[in-house]
Amino acid sequence: MKKFRKVLDGLTTSSPGGTIGSPSCGSAAGTPTSAPAPREIDIQETLISENFQLCKTVRHGFPYQPTALAFDPVQKLLAIGSRSGGIRILGRPGVDCYCQHESGAAVLQLQFLINEGALVTACADDTLHLWNLRQRRPAVLHSLKFNRERITFCHLPFQSKWLYVGTERGNTHIVNIESFILSGYVIMWNKAIELATKTHPGPVVHLSDSPKDEGKLLIGFESGTIVQWDLRAKKADFRIYYDEAIHSVSWHHEGKQFMCSHSDGSLTLWNLRNTTKPFQVTFPHGKIQKDGRKESCKPILKVEYKTSRNSEPFIIFSGGLSYDKAGRRPTLTIMHGKAITVLEMDYPIVEFLVLCETPYNNEVQDPYAVVVLLEKDLIVVDLTQSNFPVFENPYPMDVHESPVTCTAYFADCPPDIIPILYSIGAKHKKTGYSQKEWPISGGTWMLGSHTYPEIIITGHADGSIKFWDASAITLQMLYKLKTSKAFEKPKVGDGRAAELVEEDPFAVQMVSWCPQSRIFCVVGISAHIILYRFSKYDANTQIVSLEVRLQCEPEDVISPSENENNPCFTESGSHSPHHQQPVNAGNRTPEGNKDSTPCLKVKERMVRVPPGYQSELVIQLQWIDGEPPQQITSLDINSAYGLLAFGNCNGLAVVDYLQKTILLCMSTLDLYGATDPYQRLTRSPRRNRQSTSELCMRGLSNLYSDSKKRIRTSYQSLTELTDNQQSIDMERSKSPTSVHYPTSLHNDSRILPEPVASLRASHCSPVFYLLDNDHVNGHCTSPTSQSCSAGKPRIPMGPEGPRLTRRGPGRPPFRKAQSAACMEISLPVSHTEVGHASRRAMLQQLHGVTMYSHDEHHTTASYCWSERESRENSFSHSRSSSVSSIDRETKEAITTLQFGESFGRKTDALPTPCLWVGTSLGVALLIPMSIPTDQEERMDEPVAIGPSGGVLMLKGSVLRFGFLDCMGALIQSPYEVWRDLNAAEDPDRPRRRKLVHFSPSSSQDACGDGHLAVVCSERQAKVFLMPSQSCLFVHNITESSFVLRADIVSVYNSACLACFCANGHVMTLSLPSLRPLMDVNYLPLTDMRIARTFCFTNGGQALYLSSPTEIQRITYSQEMCDNLQEMLGELFTPIETPEAQNRGFLKGFFGGNAQTFDREELFGEASAGKASRSLAQHIPGQGGVEGMKVAATGVVGDLARARIALDERGQRLGELEDRTALMMTSAETFSKHAHELMLKCKDKKWYQF
């Protein structure tokens, strides 16, 4: 049991792994806190390091950049290879396995060992791998690395252990699958072609054995040469030389004909009786032109020639369209008799396979489906119906239907939420699918015992929201919501929105969901927020719109008189809602200020909304003087309070969504009041201040046109920097996490000493382009830093010059919404030189540009700024008083918000509703509120928000708040129990709000009133005791990196702090002692997609977007790692191989039956010899020990490996014992028969035989 003692002088006791807190940690201005009453808090911490282990669980979504496809017709398994070396193996729903080659080389080809539980992969690094699929986590058994030749094609005959491998040089090698050793039998290209041929035939593009005779191998070369090689006689039976290059070959099942597809869009049919010319040449999509010539067509990349027992044969191919038809989508053509069906695809075709009833290539194939692998989709076409419908895909392959921009993960949801979401979402499903069962039905999967309701929410670039059922490590879409339906469609000539109609103005930036009250909130990239309520009934509703003017620039606040004339906010100093009037859809800004209207127009008319989530309120930030609003960086909603809070780098706003009023709208600086912990810059009054109209006339027209150009810039041109010096100055970023030099020091020569003033004319300030300025945990993402070349003149410093130079146009609200797949982030700079270098290196790796950081070691009194120092001013987060008061800007962003019952001030005796506000400067503010408790009063009486209460300090941007009671239990936020507002009201039982509160003092009889507050920033975590605000524990999470994501989660019925750092470390800390429990270097941060989408949840689970199309789920719970084998599906199930059909005596007599030959005798070492050692290198795999790569090292791992090895040894001994017993029985039987024969023949004479 750990004892947490509060020392009278306010000093922090030191925890294991923590650091001793400073006396100022509980004080706003650095003075010691008031001495709390001495007492002890006894908390039993139950979490230990052995409770945590990190491993991957399952991957959902479509394989990113697929390259290869294979199907096992007996096991009914499908394998997909990708460019990054990944393999997805799919069976029935629930059977979904992901494997990864260690080399990361692209998968060129896949070959199943049919019904053997194994898979051969050929990779771009010229290595063959044999995967064992007879275990839940497949592993590599053998690898064979080719050293001198490049692999181009592989073929494995059914029920054969010899793999044919074609190479780029035109040679064909043979590999033993069991031992993965190269045979000495080689078919050299110069022996396969005629000696008189002067040119090289090119790489091998096709290998297949003849259905009529397995001893005949058909070899197709890229140049158009086809050779049938007699493996026994080691010579060519025939050679075909065709003018057009070959892409694929397909046999007729009788082995008398084969079909080829060519680069000119033609199909040739060859008969083995006469190979001098093709039996038939067709151009399926090539029409005859007026001059009698054929249209030129695109190549036919693949063809499949399949016979059917009851109908005409199927000829299925991809490509072959004429070049004249520009803009045609990729097609798959099905020729069945005289009917030609062309299926247009949404994406280019990577590969396709025809699924047949039999695995034997010498039987009637009877195809029943076609699996088409597209670049971004997987389609299965039903061939048994004349209209060729597609099967409904049971896998979540449409995660990326629109690029994913944000994710949220909720574990242990209310059990009734999943069925009701599914029932409503099922009404909007597409129709027209095939009625037959999904043909890929291999493997087995059972619902595990360790399952609970889980929901994943994904936000997308088109403004859509998808709810997914993630229970039991599966993923199934429940419900889809389109946020764009709350707005009018932009029309041509309709102002700013029309000019940007081709972009993604509805892209989802963040979501907030209360599963208990079913209230859902969405933040869009156009600085808008939509509030949704859930209803099981449709309704007629009118959306209420609020417009918020959340724009403040500290350098423009010159004096109180000027501030009164030109306020930064709509009621910037008001704490009372009495001055705020409800703003509905019809309440617009006066005609004289048209630029202040938001870009998106909310629907003003009554609309009919279907059951599900129905929009109730839309909040939009206004444009100010032609400037787009800054993006929203934080959001929190509380259904019990009926309040919604959000903030950006300008300030904070609180909205009462029950009364539809704005309660608070003020800058971050104003939130402090008298408790501001920092020394802020004092500004001199500016002379010749221009009026707003003059400013708009002279500068903002250029500013708007320039920002419009920036908005139209695509994400691919992030690093294309303009040479226009004026646009550079006006595009200065006002990032909430990049603290700049005060612009007045740079731009106003009146307040600069002479050396600095003269320096200003020759050296520019740093420039940060905000083409993709997303916020990740409060950081403005993707600014690219570039210094201006020395000697370029700056803007003329006219009367309006300083103002224009100081004001950056902010973040464009409409831009091509970049998916979380390619998000980038500006990495905060460390305070040490090592940190500077490491962060610069990380940023250079992410952006490909140079990043400069502010050097904090110079003295501010000397003014001897070097050129480097004049431009290195970005991304430092420290606010040391010696530097911040002179060369730092006072603007800070709101990075996180949290409603909850707490103590707003040290003198509070009882907990009250509070809003915890975290900023980018490491400050945590407490804002107490007074909310009427009676339902009727709540709808009529205003909510009072008091001035700022306590101020707490941390290092780095604040990321997360959490609350514990004095017993160490997690305190949940209060919520309102869901009620359907559209349901018919029962007069006997009127609907009333039912609130559930979790008061900090409800379970604290032992320690009295009070609770613990956990505050985590990007560098450290602290635990404060409320209401005294004394810091009990502090732990520096990282010194060389920074935390990207932090969450207070529940694991094993206890609370812990989970963190994901930019250096790839995943850590957990105990609460409240902040004792390190786990620190795993899991995932190096190679791109910011991971940082953007990484999120923790209860139960020891987390997820992130591993690629633009895939969601990777992981667990950091030891219990779940141990039970993972039960939860995963079995890939291999014992199935008897179907017997070959008996073809009858006559067919066999007349040569129709396939001939067999002994490959072992032909390719074995005894007859073929050994292959050259330098040709290929055998690499043994790790497939014998299942799952050892993710198992913990140490004694536990050694014991597990020893147990598995012992089990395998025992299994082998058991098999040996069975074989020995079988041999003894056979020997006894033989002895008995021999004795009987001897007795029978003993008395016979020689002539009697």
> What pLDDT score was predicted for residue 673?
75
Q: Cα(696)–Cα(263) distance, rounded to whole angstroms? A: 61
The set of residues, in sequence order, having a beta carbon less than 8 Å from that of 424 and lying 6+ positions away, is 479, 536, 611, 612
E-assigned strand segments in 579-672: 607-609, 612-621, 634-638, 643-647, 651-656, 661-667
Who contacts 653 (Cβ-Cβ below 8 Å, separation ≥6)? 548, 550, 619, 645, 646, 647, 662, 664, 665
From the number of C-beta atoms within 10 Å of its C-beta (0-12, 13-18, 19+), residue 374 rates as: buried
Residue 454 CA to its chain's centroid (Å): 18
Q: Which pLDDT score is estimated for 1141? A: 80
Please classify residue 1060 by burial: count the beta carbons closer than 10 Å to its beta carbon, then call 0-12 exposed, 13-18 middle and 19+ buried.
buried
Tell me if 690 sits within 8 A of 801, measured CB to CB: no
Strands 544-548 and 612-621, sheet pairing: parallel
Cα–Cα distance list, 66 to 63, 84, 99, 349, 370 (Å): 6, 9, 14, 10, 17
CA 186, 192, 195: angle at the middle one, nearest 5?
125
Return the C-alpha torsion angle 1140, 1145, 1148, 1150, nearest 10.
Answer: -150
Instruction: Report in angstroms the alpha-carbon separations of 939 from 76, 656, 664, 1084.
Output: 60, 10, 18, 50
Beta bridge partner(s), residue 812: none
What integer pLDDT is reported at residue 1231 of this predicted model? 87
Q: Are 355 and 71 within 8 A, CB to CB?
A: yes
Q: Which of 332, 47, 172, 39 is nearest to 1028 (CA)?
A: 39
pLDDT of residue 1220: 84
Point out which residues pair with 756 in neighbouring strands.
none
* Element holding 470 (H helix, E strand): none
486 Cβ contact list (under 8 Å, min separation 6): 530, 543, 602, 603, 615, 618
CB 127 within 8 A of CB 103: yes
195: number of Cβ within 10 Å: 7
- Are 875 and 853 in contact, with CB atoms under 8 Å apart? yes
Residue 228 in tokens: 């049938």
Residue 1200 pLDDT:
54
Is residue 107 within 8 A of residue 98, CB to CB? The reply is no
Greatest alpha-carbon span in the chain = 140
The answer to whether 911 and 891 have CB atoms below 8 angstroms apart is no
CB 201 within 8 A of CB 221: yes
- Distance between CA atoms of residues 908 and 788, nearest Å: 53
Which residues touch 295 (CB under 8 Å, ≥6 apart)? 283, 285, 286, 287, 288, 289, 322, 323, 324
Determine the straight-line distance between the first and last CA of the chain, rounded to whole angstroms.
96
- Closest listed residue to residue 1021, CA positions, set 1096, 1072, 968: 1072
Task: Using DSSP, state whether 302 is helix, strand or coil.
Answer: strand
What SS3 class is residue 556? Answer: helix
Task: Tell which residue, 962, 954, 952, has the closest CA to residue 927.
Answer: 952
Task: Give the pTM.
Answer: 0.76
CA separation (Å) from 652 to 766, 811, 919, 1111, 1114? Answer: 28, 17, 10, 33, 35
Nearest Cα to 145, choosing from 1172, 1179, 1170?
Answer: 1179
Closest CA to 477 of 466, 487, 486, 488: 466
> CA–CA separation, 375 vs 67, rounded Å?
9
For 929, list phi and psi in degrees, rounded to 5: -135, 155
Q: Which residues of the chain have pLDDT under 50?
A: 1-39, 497-502, 554-594, 682-890, 1002-1007, 1149, 1152-1154, 1185-1197
- Cα–Cα distance, 406 to 423 (Å, whole number): 25
CB atoms within 10 A of CB 334: 20
- With tokens 């079995």, the residue in question is 1130
SS3 87: strand
Cα 1190 to Cα 1099: distance, rounded to the nearest angstrom: 19
pLDDT of residue 1198: 59
Q: For 1231, phi and psi rounded to 5 degrees?
A: -65, -40
Which pLDDT tens digit goes with each residue over 532-560? 999 999 999 999 999 998 876 544 433 33
- Tokens 């419009």 sit at which residue? 708
In the 8-state DSSP scheme, what is residue 189? H
529 burial level (CB within 10 Å; 0-12, 13-18, 19+): buried
Contact 823/782 with Cβ under 8 angstroms? yes
Helices within 1150-1194 (DSSP H only): 1159-1163, 1165-1168
